[in-house]
Structure formats: structure tokens, C-alpha cells
Amino acid sequence: MKSIFHALIACALLVGGLGASGCTTASLGDPLSGSTDDPAVGFANAKSDSEENFVMTVGRRIYFASGSAKFDDVALETMDLQAQWLVRHPKWLIKLQGFADDPGSDAANVALSDKRANAVMDYLASKGVDRRRMWAKGYGKERLVRNCSDLACKAQNRRVNVNLRKEFDAAAPQYTGG
């Protein structure tokens, strides 16, 4: 009983410490855990070929280590699931948005985030997703998920978002206007 009490105290202190780490939003566990399967309100009746189904069953984010565009095991598993889903649902176009956290110059962050987005595109293509359906763009440190000073908190900013689209946008080389 005493050890359970100590474990609860330790958890409370850990959770309390996360709130004081400088993140502007609450931290929910390991930011690189790859866990994107929390229940989503309003998505219970999503069709199997819908964007909601993709988000709920596969997940749209790939995370990276600081300064890297290399994949860890969680990223590979997520991208394998993404590729399988995307091959089954060829009606969707795929916009790959790369992001970085804030160490380094703006130019270096844009280059790194572009490298990450293109690495994901190359991987998905290697798994059978038609390259003509995809485009990649690096945004650097724009659109931070977390605005914080703690390194663990910043990890969620080092990502590629796999977004489903019905048409090409101006960032796509395939875009013809209109």
C-alpha cells in the first residue's frame, strides 16, 4: 500500500512538473510515442475512406529526433500503415508538410523540414503510393504545436503532417491554378 501511495505522489509531481516546464499547452506523455489513437469525439461513424478514418486509424504525424530526418521504429510503423491506407484509397492526394523546432536559423529549419517531408514522400512511394498524388513542403519553425523552451516539449514540433486533399494547392508542383 505504501509503494502505491509513493507511486501516486511521484506521478502527481511529474504531472505538476510538466506543467511548469514552459509549454503553453498541457503535455500528454511522451511526445515521440507515436500515439495518435485517442478517441476522437464525433468520428465514431467515419466512413472507411474518409479523412477522419485516416486520422483515427492510422495517424497523420511522423516525429523526428532533433536535427534529423531519419526514421525511428515508430515512424516506420506509422508510415507503413499510412502507405497501406493510401494505396487502398487512391482518391486522396497527399500534402506532406514538414516542420522543425526553433534551434538554428530560419533557412536551416526550412531546409531540414523540407528534407523531412521529402523523406516521408520517398518512403510512402517506396511502399506503393503513387508519387504523382503527393507533394512536400518544408515550413521550418512555422506553425509550432508547442511554444516552449523545454527540449522534450519541443519534440512535437519536429514532425511531418500527412494531410489528405481533394485537389492540389499552390504549394504543389502539379498545381495548375484555379
pLDDT band at residue 177 using 50, 70 and 90 as cut-offs: confident
CATH code of the domain in which 161 resides:
3.30.1330.60
* 173 assigned to some structural domain: no
| φ/ψ of residue 135, rounded to 5 | -150, 155
pLDDT tens-place string over residues 79-126: 999 999 999 999 999 999 999 987 778 899 999 999 999 999 999 999
* 5 assigned to some structural domain: no
Q: How far apart are CA 136 and CA 123, in angstroms?
A: 12
pLDDT tens-place string over residues 38-85: 555 665 677 888 788 899 889 999 999 989 999 999 999 999 999 999
Number of domains making up the chain: 1
Report which of 112, 170, 165, 162 is spatially closest to residue 141, judged by C-alpha positions.
112
pLDDT at 37: 52
Mean pLDDT across the stretch 136-160?
Answer: 81
pLDDT at 38: 54
- Structural domain that includes position 101: 31-165
* 93 assigned to some structural domain: yes
Distances (CA, A) of 9 to 5, 14, 133: 6, 9, 51
pLDDT tens-place string over residues 12-45: 444 444 444 444 443 444 445 444 555 556 656 7
pLDDT at 7: 43
Asked whether 47 and 91 are in contact (CB, 8 A), the reply is no
* 10 assigned to some structural domain: no
**Reported pTM:** 0.72
Q: How far apart are CA 79 and CA 77, in angstroms?
A: 6
